[in-house]
Amino acid sequence: MSILLNTKQFCIAVASHISNESRIPYLIECLTSLTTQKVPVDVYLSISCVNDEVKEKTLNSINNENKILNEYLNIRFRKQKTSQMRHYFMLYQEIHQKHQWILFCDDDDTYHKDRTNYFMQTTRTTELQIDTINETRDVTLPKLELAGVYENISQPTHHTKRHEYWCYCIRMDLLTRFFNVVEPAIHVLDDRCCDVLFAEYLRRKSPNWIYATINEPLYYYREDENDDSITGFIQMNQHKYTNQTSPPPMDDDNWLSYVLKWNDYLKDNIHIFLHDTYLRTLVGSDLDTILRTEFQNNYFILDYVDQKHIMRMTDLHNRVKRVCADIYDLGL
């Protein structure tokens, strides 16, 4: 039986950077699926484009789609390339007092036509169940709160395995706490892996924060990757992750030459190592473990390379570690 819902409590947020024209049809498909839900809710799109020409073509494509142009779609163009979680933060600043619950969608993915209805019904049903439990719950125990709902298809729960952030519909208060800590931290919010930090944060709420699950495939993830996606970035740079070289003995005539070349390699690919430092830190790896894992046999020559590269990794590790300590209810 359907429960009467206040659809204005819910919204969908989309973050988009259009790096080339080939991405535009994906965005149109995404927006069409969101704005034509059986139970529609407000959709907020924060978007940046690689240049004015692509921006114009994107805007024209949207304007040519009558299905998209309805009362539910709200578009915010940004003047410069904007990171994914920065997009969400900018939307959050605008909408956090308008809505109680928020869903997410990547700009090249789509929803099942009934996805918002499933999530809203599950949210309201679970809220009523939690209210009933709290009425008879031991007053010495923390009150149960509904954190949100997430889509879980043939996987362990998110307590065992991290889920993608777009699986969730969450209480807006959770987003408030996340941004209050993460946004002021230099280079943390704008990192391309901040969505992974966000997903890790969601699954590390204390036990009195309850998540309901939906076991239906209602989110359609596009397998095609692009250069700007996290997976696309990793695939493009996979050969750089597998440097298995080993330094010669220090008394070898080639030792100095090897160190100099490896230092150049580290300089040219520091973004790869920073990427890994971010990801490994948010799941609890200490700095020495990160350095040993990343550099393998070359770990033993780190004292002889330019220390500014190691300091960049160290600084990022410390920043992310502090953020994790502040936002994770359940420690690493």
Assigned domain for 100 exists? yes
Q: Are residues 194 and 263 in the same domain?
A: no
- Domain end, chosen from 220, 248, 268, is at 220
- Domain end, chosen from 220, 250, 266, is at 220
* pLDDT of amino acid 225: 58
Assigned domain for 202 exists? yes
Q: Are residues 273 and 180 in the same domain?
A: no
> Nearest CA to 166 among 237, 106, 232, 121?
106
Q: Are residues 249 and 202 in the same domain?
A: no
Task: Please tell me the least confidently modeled range out of 34-38, 217-221, 228-232.
Answer: 228-232
Task: Please tell me the least confidently modeled range out of 170-179, 191-200, 299-308.
Answer: 299-308
Find which of 71-80, 216-225, 239-248 is predicted with most confidence, using mean pLDDT.
Answer: 71-80
Q: Are residues 209 and 246 in the same domain?
A: no
Q: Are residues 25 and 51 in the same domain?
A: yes
For 245-296, the pLDDT digits (tens) are 899 999 999 999 999 999 999 999 999 999 999 999 999 999 999 999 999 9
For 92-136, the pLDDT digits (tens) are 999 999 999 999 999 999 999 999 999 999 999 999 999 999 999
Assigned domain for 228 exists? no
What is the rounded distance in angstroms from the CA atom of residue 67 to the CA atom of residue 24?
A: 16
Assigned domain for 252 exists? yes
Assigned domain for 175 exists? yes
> Nearest CA to 120 among 5, 284, 285, 238?
5
Assigned domain for 295 exists? yes
What is the rounded distance in angstroms from the CA atom of residue 221 to the CA atom of residue 105?
A: 9
Q: How many domains does the chain have?
A: 2
CATH number of the domain that 149 lies in? 3.90.550.10
For 40-90, the pLDDT digits (tens) are 999 999 999 999 999 999 999 999 988 898 999 999 999 999 999 999 999
Assigned domain for 316 exists? yes
Q: Are residues 78 and 173 in the same domain?
A: yes
In this predicted structure, the answer to whether residue 231 has a pLDDT above a threshold of 60 is no
Q: Are residues 214 and 241 in the same domain?
A: no
Q: Are residues 245 and 215 in the same domain?
A: no
Encoded amino acid at 93, one letter: Q
Q: Cα-flanking dihedrals φ and ψ of residue 219, to 5°?
A: -115, 130
Look at residue 35 and give its three-state secondary structure.
helix
Encoded amino acid at 168, one letter: Y
Q: Are residues 278 and 172 in the same domain?
A: no
- Domain end, chosen from 195, 220, 245, is at 220
Q: Are residues 188 and 214 in the same domain?
A: yes
Q: Are residues 119 and 37 in the same domain?
A: yes
Q: Are residues 197 and 249 in the same domain?
A: no
78: number of CA atoms within 13 Å, CB side?
A: 21
Assigned domain for 112 exists? yes
Question: What domain range includes position 164?
Answer: 7-220
In this predicted structure, the answer to whether residue 233 has a pLDDT above a threshold of 60 is no
pTM above 0.85, yes or no: yes
> Nearest CA to 157 among 113, 203, 199, 197?
203
In this predicted structure, the answer to whether residue 239 has a pLDDT above a threshold of 60 is no
